[in-house]
Amino acid sequence: MSDRGAQGPLTFPSLPVNPPTLADVAERAGVSRQTVSNAVNNPALLRTDTLVRVQQAIAELGYSPNRAARSLRTRASHLVGLRFTPAQEGTANALMDRFVHSLVAATAQVGYHVLLFADDDTEPLSAYDHLLRSTAVDAFIVTDTYLGAPQAAWLTQQRAPFVAFGRPWEDPHASHAWVDVDGAAGAALACDHLLDQGHTRVAWIGWRKDSFIGEDRRSGWSRAMHARGLPTSGLASRVEDTVASGREAAAVLIDEAHPTAFVCASDTLALGVLQTLFDRGMVAGRDLAVVGFDDSQVAQVVPPGLTSVRQPLEQVAVEVVRALQGLLATPPLAMPGVLLTPTLSVRGSSTGA
């Protein structure tokens, strides 16, 4: 039961005053409204001193351009669509979370925002088609570049602007803009890290053969081993990307191939290896070294710390936005594919420290 009556009448905060308008900025800066509009939309048209004066008035008044009105005038939504899917159960993969956070920050810096949308797995193009027909977005960012994914080819046919996070694996001659991380270089970096410590039997646990990304990462491990004159026969396993699959594959390889170290195509598989070592009373980094891929949050906290290849997702986001700017320019600018190099986050699982 409330006792507010005994405390006197309720008071409410005053309503905010009307937000400043373009006319208010023009008056403060001593310029025309068209000049203010140019300062917001086409700053290159103004002299430096005029632009500075208008920008100062905008800052002092806290003016924010009316995005909806601008969209009606330019027929641009200033939104980019990104299909977002939940993380798969039984994995440590939170790669998209870090990428989306970086992407939101990068797009905001150039006046765009990210529109996340879900799609029906049975009709993977339906949401794309709806957004395209309704002109709800200006462009798309595609992360579905696995074998058989139809998004890139369909958007190309529709002449819809998009940038892919991932190479056009099935069509190396595709002309659309893309940004990717060199998985082979990352796996080679992980393997060289172990070889430099004296390991000569480094096993690989990767994904099924129909995964372009998995095979790309596997090639880096194979290349690093062969560069040192070391064998790879019997030291590799291809499985599903789950902790359970990594655990089972590690057990078989330890019993049959007797490796002293593992490089895995994901942190998920590496966690499976760590579980196998725990089951057998072994310690990662001391009895057997383990390196994962993606530098997930789990890798950073699981004892003794999982060494993992880290993708430069912040730079990926910057390059994706740069490519989007090119596509949406007048006239559009063709952007070449960009391949970025990952780094290695070294922790106790590979050093024993």
DSSP string, 72-130: HHHT---EEEEE--PPPTTS---HHHHHHHHHHHHHHTTT-EEEEE--BTTBTTHHHHH
- Longest CA–CA span in the chain (Å) reads 86
The candidate with the shortest Cα–Cα distance to 320, out of 221, 180, 197, 222, is 180
pLDDT digits (tens, 9 = 90+) for 180-212: 999 999 999 999 999 999 999 999 999 999 899
pLDDT digits (tens, 9 = 90+) for 65-76: 654 444 434 446
DSSP assigned state of 288: B
92 pLDDT tier (thresholds 50, 70, 90): low
Beta-ladder partners of 263:
204, 291
* The pLDDT of residue 332 is above 90: no
- % of the chain beyond a pLDDT of 70: 87
Dist CA 300 CA 305 (whole Å): 6
pLDDT at residue 153, as a whole number: 87
The candidate with the shortest Cα–Cα distance to 96, out of 341, 323, 316, is 316
CA distances 230 to 185, 196, 224, 254, Å, are 18, 13, 9, 18
Average of pLDDT values for 238-242? 95
Determine how many CB atoms are found less than 10 A away from the CB of residue 297. 12
313 pLDDT tier (thresholds 50, 70, 90): very high
* The pLDDT of residue 295 is above 90: yes
150 pLDDT tier (thresholds 50, 70, 90): confident
Average of pLDDT values for 295-316? 94
* The pLDDT of residue 224 is above 70: yes
Query: Of the ranges 32-41, 104-113, 157-166, 338-347, which is most confident?
Result: 338-347
Global confidence as pTM: 0.76
What are the tokens at 347? 């922790």
Q: For 70-79, 209-218, 254-263, which range has the lowest pLDDT when averaged over its residues?
A: 70-79
Beta strands in the chain (DSSP E): 79-83, 113-117, 139-142, 162-165, 177-181, 202-207, 236-239, 261-264, 289-293, 307-310, 338-340, 343-345
Q: For 13-17, 162-166, 264-268, 305-309, which range has the lowest pLDDT when averaged over its residues?
A: 13-17
The candidate with the shortest Cα–Cα distance to 342, out of 206, 188, 130, is 188
Going along the chain from its start, the domains and CATH numbers come out as 18-65 (1.10.260.40), 79-182+313-341 (3.40.50.2300), 183-311+344-351 (3.40.50.2300)
